[in-house]
């Protein structure tokens, strides 16, 4: 996905005491990494609330969505106190109603219910992002831009361009590959080349003599991609 012109800030409460705080955090990460990566950024709420000027300045300049776990609305109230009105305020307990009663705080206890809850909340965040982008005339890099007359499986997987020995090459699904490897813990350092090459060549033909050039290009692209997410 390409970068959009408008960056929407998403501020999650990440409340530690309740499962809804974990869901708010994970749903926010899902939107940032997978659903609207080119149009969203996040900031740490405790740092923001503690009065860090740079963080508070961001929320003044950009449309912001707050995602709170419960009705105490720490993220919304804190953001409005320091930076003015937010563009949208979502509350996990309202979105999920009683569905989060069996959700967990820690990742080690996560079940299908937790994944479903994160999915539902992230869908709501993505809708709010799209609504803000539409109002501001920005580009919606939506996964949901489906034409009702078209089967999703017939749509080409979006590609990403990399420079291999100075030559632009488009690799289909590269952003999805990067997201998958990031979730599985691949660090964006100089040692990630072999894993990147191994995964990409499953979907994209790479001749043996091109391996080193591809590896260098993929390392650079992966580092850049992770910096933006």
Name the residues that contact another protein, by CB under 8 A: 12-18, 21, 25-26, 28-30, 33, 42-47, 49-50, 72, 74-75, 77-78, 105-108, 182-187, 191
64 DSSP β-pair partners: 9
- Contacts with 14 (C-beta within 8 Å, 6 or more apart), sequence order: 21, 22, 24, 25, 45, 69
Our CB check for another protein shows the closer of 24 and 141 to be: 24
- Running DSSP on this structure, what letter comes out for residue 188? S
Our CB check for another protein shows the closer of 68 and 124 to be: 68
Rounded to a whole number of angstroms, the minimum distance from the CB of residue 12 to another protein is 6
Our CB check for another protein shows the closer of 33 and 124 to be: 33
Rounded to a whole number of angstroms, the minimum distance from the CB of residue 4 to another protein is 19
Our CB check for another protein shows the closer of 163 and 183 to be: 183
98, 100, 102, 108 alpha-carbon torsion, rounded to 10°: 180
User: What is the H or E stretch that residue 160 is in?
Assistant: strand 159-164
| Cα–Cα dist 91/96, whole Å | 9
Our CB check for another protein shows the closer of 60 and 191 to be: 191
Count CA atoms closer than 13 A to 226's CA, side-chain side. 19
Rounded to a whole number of angstroms, the minimum distance from the CB of residue 160 to another protein is 19
Rounded to a whole number of angstroms, the minimum distance from the CB of residue 222 to another protein is 13
Rounded to a whole number of angstroms, the minimum distance from the CB of residue 96 to another protein is 18
Tokens 């920005």 belong to residue: 138
Q: In a 3-state reduction of DSSP, which class is residue 191?
A: coil
């Amino acid at each position: 996905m390409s970068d959009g012109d408008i960056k929407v800030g998403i501020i999650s409460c990440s409340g530690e005491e309740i499962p809804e705080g974990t869901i708010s955090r994970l749903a926010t990460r899902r939107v940032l990494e997978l659903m609207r990566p080119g149009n969203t950024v996040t900031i740490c709420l405790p740092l923001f609330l503690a009065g860090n000027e740079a963080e508070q300045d961001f929320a003044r300049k950009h449309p912001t969505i707050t995602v709170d776990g419960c009705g105490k609305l720490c993220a919304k109230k804190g953001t409005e106190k320091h930076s003015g009105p937010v563009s949208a305020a979502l509350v996990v307990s309202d979105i999920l109603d009683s569905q989060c009663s069996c959700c967990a705080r820690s990742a080690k206890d996560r079940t299908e219910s937790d994944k479903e809850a994160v999915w539902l909340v992230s869908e709501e965040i993505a809708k709010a992002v799209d609504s803000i982008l539409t109002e501001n005339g920005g580009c919606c890099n939506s996964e949901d831009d489906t034409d009702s007359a078209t089967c999703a499986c017939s749509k080409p997987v979006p590609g990403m361009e990399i420079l291999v020995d100075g030559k632009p090459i488009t690799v289909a699904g590269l952003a999805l590959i990067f997201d998958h490897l990031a979730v599985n813990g691949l660090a964006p350092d100089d040692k990630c080349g072999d894993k990147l090459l191994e995964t990409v060549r499953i979907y994209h033909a790479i001749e043996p003599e091109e391996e080193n050039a591809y590896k260098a290009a993929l390392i650079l692209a992966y580092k850049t991609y992770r910096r933006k997410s």
